[in-house]
Structure 1
Amino acid sequence: MTLGQDSTSLALFVTHRTALLNYANDIVGERSLAEDVVQDAYLRLQRAERRHAADDTLDEPLAYLFRIVRNLALDVRQRLNRERGHLVLGNGQGAAEIPADRPDPESQAIDRDQLRLLQAALDELPRRSRVALEMHRFGDYRIADIAAHLGVSVGTAHALVVDALDHCKSRLGRRP
């Protein structure tokens, strides 16, 4: 790898480090593990660039870096799940006997009813309001992005989201 390639991969890594950490953290669920994954991914990117030195550079180094992070994070998560599955408590109780970390059937039924109510509330909304709310809450879009997508002002986009949220809260029996 040439000095230029090394500094390019470092600049790419530094520029996207936060996004890479968040991506890895979403998969492994633990920030310190995510940091290890991202660091290891950077080292693998450097090795890959050394192997491709004759070809000049990798075609899509950022996409390659995200793919490395994803694969490493999934490996870490699988390893953690295996380790947790083999956990044996001091009193001889195996991990299989530990209560599941999920809601009881009554809570699940209540949650399903709430979800049906929410879906009905979303279906009642005008198309622009529903799109604005879905983009904001489910797509993590900024209000400015929603406004641009809908072809409305930022204030109107904000009002659409707020009104849609208030409507859904009232249909779910919660105070707006």
Structure 2
Amino acid sequence: MIDVETRHEVYIANRTALIAYATRILGSRETAEDIVQDAFLRFAPANTSMGSATQTLAYLYKIVRNLSLDVLKRQKLETREQQNEPPYWSLPNGVPTPEEVVVVSDEVRQIAQILGDLPMEVRVALEMHRFGGYTLEEIAAHLDISVATAHRHVRTAMVRVATMLIGNAS
């Protein structure tokens, strides 16, 4: 049976290695130091008979490993509990202020006016791309134009809309 003094010497001699071991498991040196300290508190007064210092060290590593895994399990449970919040779509939406409604309505009116002023082919290309989710290849095939021209139409319309929105934000 190894006495308490020998256990203490084994702990002191291997403390740095134990912290490094726990850090690899936990990913945090601070938590690893706490775990190694807790391991020593469980290890020092143990009344088990161990044959050698090597077996004592193996027992100490096992305590550190088990305590580290317990911390990881606890963290995983806490994360899962935090994720048990209701989904965003079930939460009530905030009611917009009258000013926000007016601003959005004004922007929508201005965008509609810009879209109305665009040539038909450019407007259709933008609507298909932004609202319909069509690819440039599909737009080109529908309008019987090249993919580069379809891209240019969408870009031209988006630049006009963005310029209008940026100009109003100033």
TM-score range, shorter chain: 0.3 to 0.5
Q: Tell me the TM-score normalized by structure 2.
A: 0.45
TM-score of the superposition, structure 1-length normalised? 0.43
